[in-house]
Chains A and B, each alone.
Chain A
Amino acid sequence: MIFRSVALLVLCSVTVGTGALRAQDRSKFVVAGVLGFSSVTQRTALDTTKSSGTLFGLEAGFRYWRAELRGRYSQGGLEPNGGGQSTDLVEGELMLGVWPVDMLALRFGPRARSYVTNAGTVRWVFWEVRARFEASLSRGSSLWSYFEAWYALTGSVNAAESFGNGRGLEGGIGLLIPSTPVRLRLGYRIDQGRLQEDSRTEAIEELILAVGVGR
């Protein structure tokens, strides 16, 4: 039922977007390296654990007309703030989106997150719907800001408890260096996954620096 709703939403967005499409700049491609300074807060009924670390990743996006496909992958190590065994964090996502108007994108797709320890791997999978706003801050779009919020329509986790919900947001600014295809981005992201009955929550906060190229 949820998938049908999302499919209908995407279809409507494509229809609206097609009506407003313009011929120029029909295809865009961006690829960027991402450096994330992450902080993870894991809370259970018994305790709260905080860890932090640096993630390295790669993201790429392709846009044609008002349709878009983008993916992201990052991984890194997290060190518990109170000391203890380190954890590897691996994240990946693949989103399909549409831009019904120039400032707004609607996206849908899966995002997976894994915590890898010696004891095993905890894997979260979120099926998310996202809304992203982008606005130019200067003429010619060389400087822009963005804000993106998402909500997990469904998900799964390989734990004793079942998946509860997930949500998050990201905001930041981007700069296209004049006369070059080089793009810089500074962003902040917060994301939280929750198991049912609040038995466990995991929140990832990340300060993002990205350097990419694209047209």
Chain B
Amino acid sequence: MGRGWVLGAFAVLLAASSLSAQRPTELVDRAVEAYDDLDLGTAAGLIRRALAAQGSDTLSTEYQLRALSYLGATEFFRDNRDSAMSAFRQIVVLDPRFQIDDLVFPPDLTSVFALVRRDTKIVQAAAPPVRSIRAGTGRYTAQLFASSYHEILATLAFADGRPLRVLYSGLIGDSLEIYWDGLDSQQIAVAAGRYFLTIESTGREGTVVRQLRVPLDVSTSFIDTMPWPAPPADSLFLPEGTSGGPALESLLAGVVGGIAVALLPSAVASDADLSAGRFVVGGAMSVAGVIGFFKQRGGQPIPANITANDAVRREWQNQRNDVARENAALLAEVDLEIRAGRPVAVDVGEQ
């Protein structure tokens, strides 16, 4: 009975040990050992099992690169050249700058890898995860690393794919720095939302073969604008037309004064033999008063006042224009917070 328990426990330990050996990283390690022992079939099988792992068991990029390097070598030495090149192509897509270890792998293999790397046109982007910039003056900079010398088109695009602004169009060698100032193609600060930094790699045939998309979530904060100047107070405006008051005053002053000059002298000097001069002057005063009345009667435009009022209005309009200009400048000075997501590479054409 006691011997039975011991055998059972041993069986459980063996099963646990077997489960542990199934972990992808250990599968890769075992594959490397098999490769070193020239057991190429076992090595290839273990690596494929490791690469197929999903979820939390997914290999890290570093392990994927290692696994793919050995997978390519294994297939190369098994005379599966296409499979080898496919593995190497996956390496380049994962990390365009990756080099297989020429101390581990023979030169004929590394030369095949170099060939694949040359023909696989892809870039990798290193964008700051979070960066705040002022639209127009600040710079959001992304570093691009290319697998090989080729032509790229870097654009900023809306979430639905519509292009917003071309950031770079031309050749890339080893690496390239591109930047975005937060403005669209109309030199206006972009609205908050999701955008994509898209880098299209062009193949030898001139067609786009691969696209790298970096999601950018942009949030904005505007600077307070200046208030509009208040319109000029009514008290600042002079009457642009004559009112009846001054006209009536003129009429009264002229006519009453004229009558007084014509009639009152006889009361002052009743004994004197008065001349007609008083009527001449009195009449002139009355006529002047009547002329003044008609010149100043209500509704007549007053050019001097109209000019003065125009100056007041112009001054206000100028102030308004100044504020509009300053506000436009302030609105252009939008602070953007840019959050970069994980880049995604998409094959869009045959190499």
Partner-B contacts on A (CB < 8 A):
37, 39, 41, 43, 48, 50, 133, 135-139, 143, 145-147, 149, 167-169, 171-173, 186-188, 190-192, 201, 203, 205, 207
Q: Give the complex CA separation of A205 and B16 in angstroms.
A: 145
Q: Do residues B272 and A135 form an inter-chain contact, with CB atoms below 8 A?
A: no
Given contacts A190-B269, A203-B268, 7 further A-B pairs with CB under 8 A are A41-B272, A48-B271, A137-B291, A145-B288, A147-B257, A171-B260, A190-B268
Q: Across the interface, do A145 and B254 meet the contact criterion of CB distance under 8 Å?
A: yes
* Cα distance, A190 to B281, chains bound together (Å): 12
Which residues of A lie under 8 Å from residue B54 when comparing CB positions?
none
The verdict on B284 contacting chain A, using a C-beta distance below 8 Å, is yes
Q: Is the CB of B261 within 8 A of A147?
A: yes
Does the CB pair A188–B281 fall under 8 Å? yes
Chain B residue nearest to A50 in the complex (CB): B273
B24: Cβ under 8 A from any A Cβ: no
Chain A residues within 8 Å of B302, by CB: 139
A23 to chain B minimum Cβ distance, whole angstroms, is 19
Q: Name the segment of B42-50, B84-92, B245-253 touching the other chain.
A: B245-253
Would A190 and B250 be within 8 Å (CB), given that A169-B264, A169-B268 are in contact? no
When distances are taken between beta carbons in the complex, the residues of chain B under 8 Å from A173 are 254, 281, 284-285, 288
Q: Give the residues in chain B near A138, CB-CB below 8 Å.
A: 250, 291-292, 295-296
Assess whether B265 is in contact with A169, with CB atoms less than 8 Å apart.
yes
Partner of B269, one of A143, A187, A205: A205
Contacts of A137 in B (CB 8 A): 250, 253-254, 288-289, 291-292
* CB contact under 8 A between A203 and B271, given known A135-B257, A138-B295, A190-B278: yes
Identify which of B260, B275, B291, B295 contacts A39 (C-beta below 8 A): B275
| Chain A proximity of B158: nearest CB distance (Å) | 66
Q: With the chains together, A190 CA to B261 CA distance in Å?
A: 9
The binding surface of chain B is classed by DSSP as helix
Chain B: how many interface residues by the 8 Å CB criterion? 34
Query: Shortest CB–CB separation between residue B79 and chain A, in angstroms?
Result: 110
For residue B2, CB closer than 8 A to chain A, the reply is: no
Complexed CA–CA distance, A132 and B275 (Å):
23
Quick one: closest A residue to B256, CB to CB?
Answer: A147
Q: Which of B211-262 contact A (CB under 8 A)?
A: 242, 246, 249-250, 252-254, 257-258, 260-261
The answer, yes or no, to whether B274 is at the interface (CB within 8 Å) is yes
- Residues in A with CB closer than 8 Å to B277 are 37, 188, 205, 207
Q: Are A41 and B271 in contact (CB under 8 A)?
A: yes
B contacts, CB < 8 Å to A:
242, 246, 249-250, 252-254, 257-258, 260-261, 264-265, 268-269, 271-275, 277-278, 280-282, 284-285, 288-289, 291-292, 295-296, 302
Rounded to whole angstroms, the CA-CA distance of A192 and B267 in the bound complex is 11
Query: Which residues from A are CB-within-8-Å of B273?
Result: 41, 50
Contact A171 B261 (CB under 8 A): yes
Is B272 a contact partner of A171 (Cβ separation < 8 A)? no
Whether the Cβ atoms of A145 and B257 lie closer than 8 Å is: yes
Report the separation of the CA atoms of residues A152 and B60 in the bound assembly, to the nearest whole angstrom. 123
B130 to chain A, nearest CB (A): 65
Q: In the complex the two chains form, what is the Cα distance from A203 to B269 in whole Å?
A: 6
Interchain residue pairs with CB less than 8 A apart (5): A137-B254, A137-B292, A138-B296, A145-B289, A190-B269
CB distance from A184 to the nearest CB of B (A): 12
Q: Which residues from chain B contact A168 at a C-beta distance below 8 Å?
A: 268
- Residues from chain A with a CB closer than 8 A to the CB of B265 are 169, 188, 190, 205
**How far apart are A139's CB and chain B's nearest CB, in angstroms?**
6
A136 to B271 alpha-carbon distance, docked (Å): 33
A48 vs B292: C-alpha distance when bound (angstroms): 42
Which residues of chain B are within 8 angstroms of A171 by Cβ–Cβ distance? 257-258, 260-261, 281-282, 285
Q: How far is the CA of A133 from the CA of B246 in the complex (A)?
A: 16
Residue of A nearest to B289 (CB): A137
What CA separation (Å) do A168 and B269 show in the bound complex? Answer: 8
Which 6 A/B pairs are nearest by Cβ-Cβ distance?
Answer: A135-B253, A171-B261, A137-B292, A188-B281, A203-B269, A203-B272
Q: Kindly report which residue of chain B lies nearest to residue A147, judged by CB atoms.
A: B257
CB–CB B285/A201 < 8 A: no
Complex CA gap A191/B152 in Å reads 109
- Which A residues touch B260, using CB under 8 A? 147, 169, 171
